[in-house]
Structure 1
Amino acid sequence: MENKLYYQDPYIRTFNAKVVKQEQDSTGSWYIVLNQTAFYPTGGGQPHDLGTLANKAVKNVEEIDGEIRHYIDVPFDDIGKEVIGTIDWERRLDHMQQHAGQHLLSAAFDHLFGYKTIGFHLGAEILTIDLETDHLSQQQVQEAEALANQVILENRPIETKWVTEEELSQYNLRKETKVKEDIRLVIIPDFDDNGCGGTHPRATGEVRAVKVLDWERQKKKVRVQFVGGNRVVTLLGQKQRVLLELTKILNAPEKEMEQAVLRLLETNKTLEKDLEQTQESLLHFEAKDLLEKRSHREKPLVSEVFQNRSIQELQNLARIIITEEETAIVYFVSENDKRLQVVCARGQAETVSMKQVIASALPHINGKGGGNDSFAQGGGEALVSGEQMLQHLLEIVR
């Protein structure tokens, strides 16, 4: 472990090391191996560090086959020389805060309710832990969060120890360790003993705070979303900005925001219903007008070319017409930008197969569609004009 400087001191930001190996992996990506490194590799639910080596950006860090690989875009011209490594400190500190926050929250759920953590993920914005339970209440979340934050406020030390498998019996481990040698314990006195290979701050006070955001049941576990450290302050600032904008838009104070939104949603539902009824009435008037224009024919053939009408509108209009007039045949075409929409329908008294009509028409526009003998629809590219398509439909029926 001597070459893993992040275990000796997770606060190291710069270090010197020698390049001992430079190769490409199976994907063709270049990586280098150093004689010692402060770059933390992906592992234990914690993402890898970022930074630079000799001013070359380190894009990824992985521990593979016992060596820590630092992935770079451009290989070094000369290996074997000493290089300066610089850690992205803001990212490292964030990971330290989040990982320690996870230990605190997991231990709180365990102490209070006996809920074991069976999964952990440290994401770019939020963290999740999976609790071994199928139920979690608001009261339990508040109690666990309060306990974790109380331990943060007490600023207890966060200790790390390397122990053997035989020495594990001396500690009250929250869960069994997966490794059997080079066992590293992260200890928060009188609160949490846990096997962990991640980086953590020196004391709980550096975590600043933890805040649970949400939780959901997933099969036989509950997934809890939360943030810790500087992310709490950042997220509070984001949410506050959004809330202040909403108070201006809705003209309501923060405490009345929920009721203001509910009133707005209810009003919107009413308006949508009124709009639907109005649109339905307009379609009936339009259908009546189209039928009257064709009333001089023995069989009212209703055909029309529209501009920018949705196929749903054409379908509804056609259904109204064939309901009003059972001898009607309806051919509608709509020109929508670079596409054509086609609807064909017949009343109950007619026998022309609309399915065959649409099947004959769609190849002219490389279209797709379907339906049955009484009602069919489709659409395709505007390879012909709407009038040309309508004339083709009329030729078919003749």
Structure 2
Amino acid sequence: MTNKLYYEDPYIQTFSAKILKQTQDYVVLSETAFYPTGGGQPNDSGTLNGIAVTNVELIEGEIRHHLATSLLANTEYVEGAIDWKRRFDHMQQHAGQHILSAAFDNLFGFKTVSFHLGKNSSTIDLDVNEISAHQLAEVEALANEIILENHPIETKWITEEELAQYKLRKPTKVKEDIRLVIIPNFDYNACGGTHPKTTGQVGLIKILQMEKQKQNIRVEFVCGARVITHLQRKHTIITNLINSLSSPEEKLEDAVHTLLNNVKMQEKQISNLNGLLLQYEANELIRNTKGTILTANFQNRTIQELQKLAKLITTESIETLCILVSQNEDRIQIVAARGSSVNQNMKELIEKILPLINGKGGGNNTIAQGGGENRISTEQLLQKSLEYITA
């Protein structure tokens, strides 16, 4: 592999290099301080001759730098500059991941199977089905203890034959140019990422949450400056809640529970009132209908409301067949239902009606429904339905 400068010293922020290859899409340099995406870590950003580097990737043994605009024609050398804020953030997160993964392994034997360094937080997937809150707390405490003790973070290039001398946290598939990242007496891991020189520079690790991912547990965390950012965001939210709920912080949880319980009670009351309104509406439609076929035309009624209304009507009046339609913007909804004394198949009726609106639906011989395009008016749809019924 060429271009190992980014491996050697992650604190290099500027460099000079010769252009080895230049295409319309990317350039390859004689050496580079830019880290290419890989190992769960995103690429560095920065500039080449003042032009923004938008992506860096390792393909076919060469590190390709993608630029926002092309370099000037016949450019032979470039001056590179790394976005240090982004670089150091990635160094903190990646080293923090090593510490966290080693803590899970050393304390409980939980192995890390994947790592993702995200924009706002990072995650590791562990090959375990369950982790307790107590175990998370132990791991977080050990990880921050290792940071506070400010151990050196060393790198070493070794051969495949030398691997046996080190107790690696996980096996490596690399056969040559093996780079170890070492926290002495705590973690030994093959890695090509960027890391600070000491654990103390990681600053702090905070586990945010965990969730089940197929056969693994995914742990989300933040390190370093991201902990402050996360804390500030939480502080802002809590301050706003304190002001909105007129409650001190220590009683916020109780205030939220009270509010949620009140909302549930109100939702139940609204549901009961809506039921009474639908019952009243059903009775009015029955009272104002002459004969045994009831039709009604609505605007912006959900299919669920139409179904409830149709069931109330046909339960109250067992000799009634009802067809209810509603126009909702560019869609038409239709429900057909019959009372127990009516001898007509509602599913067959809907299947005849739906092609008129290029619709889809379903149901049974007692009640059926569907929806489709606003091809004809709701009045025309009701008229066609009546024609099918009386045919």
Would you call these one fold, judging by a TM-score over 0.5? yes
Q: CA deviation at 1:210?
A: 0.5
1:86-145 Cα offsets, whole Å, 9 max, x none, are 212221111100011011111222222232323222122221222233332111111111
In structure 2, relative to structure 1, the CA distance for the partners of 1:134 and 1:338 (3 Å cut) is closer
After superposition, the C-alpha distances for 1:349-378 in whole angstroms (9 at most, x for unaligned) are: 112333333233333333332333332222
2 CA distance for matches of 1:332 and 1:60?
A: 57
Partner of 2:22: 22
Are positions 1:281 and 2:276 aligned together? yes
Q: Which residue of 1 aligns with 2:316?
A: 324
Equivalent residue letter for 1:6: Y
Secondary structure, counterpart of 1:155 in structure 2: coil
Say if 2:180 and 2:189, in contact at 8 Å, map to a contact too.
yes
Among 361, 365, 377, the alignment partner of 2:369 is: 377
Alpha-carbon spacing, 1:193–1:356, altered in 2? closer, same or farther (3 Å): closer
Residue 202 (structure 1) aligns with: 197
Superposed CA offset, 1:8-44 (max 9, x none): 22111121111111236xxxxx121101111111222
CA shift, 1:384, in A, is 2.8
Alpha-carbon distance between aligned partners in 2 of 1:320 and 1:73, rounded to the nearest angstrom = 64
Using the TM superposition, give the Cα deviation of residue 249 of structure 1 relative to its aligned residue in structure 2, in angstroms: 2.1
Cα shift at 1:244: 1.4
Aligned to 2:329: 337
Residue of structure 1 aligned with 2:360, choices 345, 368, 391: 368
SS at match of 2:28: strand
**Which whole-Å CA distance do the structure 2 matches of 1:319 and 1:142 have between them?**
54
Report Cα offsets for 1:272-291 as digits up to 9, x if no partner: 22221111111111111111
Distance 1:173 1:397, change over 3 A: closer
The amino acid that maps onto 1:229 is: G
**Deviation of the 1:73 alpha carbon:** 4.8
Question: What SS does structure 2 have at the residue aligned with 1:384?
Answer: coil
Letter in 2 for 1:19: I
| Structure-2 separation of matches of 1:370 and 1:174 | 57
Question: Given the superposition, is the C-alpha separation of residues 9 and 357 from structure 1 closer, same or farther in structure 2, using an over 3 Å criterion?
Answer: same
Question: Residue 351 of structure 2 aligns to which amino acid in structure 1?
Answer: A
Give 1:21-40 correspondences, 5 Å limit.
21-23=21-23, 30-40=25-35
Instruction: Compute the displacement of 1:79 (Å).
Output: 4.3
Q: In structure 1, what residue type is equivalent to 2:42?
A: P
Q: Does 1:157 align with 2:157?
A: no
Task: State how far apart, in whole Å, the 2-side matches of 1:360 and 1:176 are.
Answer: 65
AA aligned opposite 2:288: K
Find the aligned partners of 2:382 and 2:129 in 1 and give their Cα distance. Answer: 60
Q: 1:318 to 1:132 in 2, by over 3 A?
A: closer
Cα distance in 1 for residues equivalent to 2:375 and 2:169: 69
Return the alpha-carbon distance in structure 1 between the equivalents of residues 61 and 356 of structure 2.
Answer: 64
Contact conserved, 2:2 with 2:61, CA < 8 A, in 1?
Answer: no
The answer for unaligned runs of 5 or more in structure 1 is 25-29
Specify the code of the residue in structure 2 equivalent to 1:378.
G
1:163–1:317 CA distance, 2 compared to 1 (3 A): same
TM-score by length of structure 1 reads: 0.91
CA distance in 2, matches of 1:142, 1:372: 55
**Kept in 2: contact 1:22–1:75 (CA 8 A):** no
Structure 1 residue 80: deviation in Å? Answer: 5.5
Indicate the SS of the match to 1:46. coil
Aligned to 2:185: 190
Alignment correspondent of 1:27: none
Q: Does the aligned pair in 2 maintain the 1:291–1:300 contact within 8 Å?
A: no
Equivalence for 2:64: 69
Task: Determine what percentage of the aligned residue pairs are the same residue.
Answer: 55
Please state how far the C-alpha of 1:82 moved relative to its aligned partner.
Answer: 0.7
Q: Give the aligned length.
A: 390
- Cα 1:14–1:313, aligned 2, differ >3 Å: closer, same or farther? same
- Residue number among 271, 293, 307 corresponding to 1:315 in the alignment: 307
Cα gap change, 1:329/1:252 in structure 2, threshold over 3 Å: closer, same or farther? same
C-alpha distance 45-350 of structure 1, shift in aligned 2 (>3 A): same
CA distance in 2, matches of 1:258, 1:275: 26
Structure 1 window deviating more from structure 2 (98-107 vs 367-376): it is 367-376
Give the TM-score of the pair, scaled to structure 2. 0.93
Q: What one-letter code is carried by the residue in structure 1 that aligns with 2:248?
A: P
Q: State the alpha-carbon separation in 2 of the partners of residues 367 and 222 from structure 1.
A: 43
In the alignment, does 2:338 pair up with 1:354?
A: no
- Give the whole-Å Cα distance in 1 for the aligned partners of 2:54 and 2:233: 28
Q: 1:307–1:334: 8 Å Cα contact kept in structure 2?
A: yes
With 380-389 and 136-145 compared, the bigger mean Cα shift is at 380-389
Q: Distance in 1 between matches of 2:192 and 2:368?
A: 64
CA contact (8 A) 1:121 1:128 kept: yes
Structure 2 counterpart of 1:180: 175
* Cα deviations by residue, 1:250-305 (Å, 9 ceiling, x for unpaired): 222222222222222222222222221111111111111111112xx4x3321121
Instruction: Note if contact 1:119-1:129 (Cα within 8 Å) is conserved in structure 2.
Output: yes
Q: Which runs of 5+ in 2 are unaligned?
A: none
Question: Is the Cα contact below 8 Å between 1:157 and 1:189 reproduced in 2?
Answer: yes
Cα distance change of structure 1 residues 134 and 356 upon mapping to structure 2, 3 Å threshold: closer
Alignment partner, residue 6 of structure 2:
6
Q: Distance in 1 between matches of 2:186 and 2:300?
A: 67
Q: 2:138 aligned with 1:143, yes or no?
A: yes
2:77 is matched with which residue?
82
Bigger drift between 319-328 and 259-268 goes to: 259-268
Contact 1:322 1:345 in 2 (8 A): yes
Is the contact made by 1:18 and 1:80 (CA closer than 8 Å) also made in structure 2?
A: no
CA distance in 1, matches of 2:103, 2:246: 40
Counterpart in the other structure of 2:108? 113
Distance 1:355 1:114, change over 3 A: closer
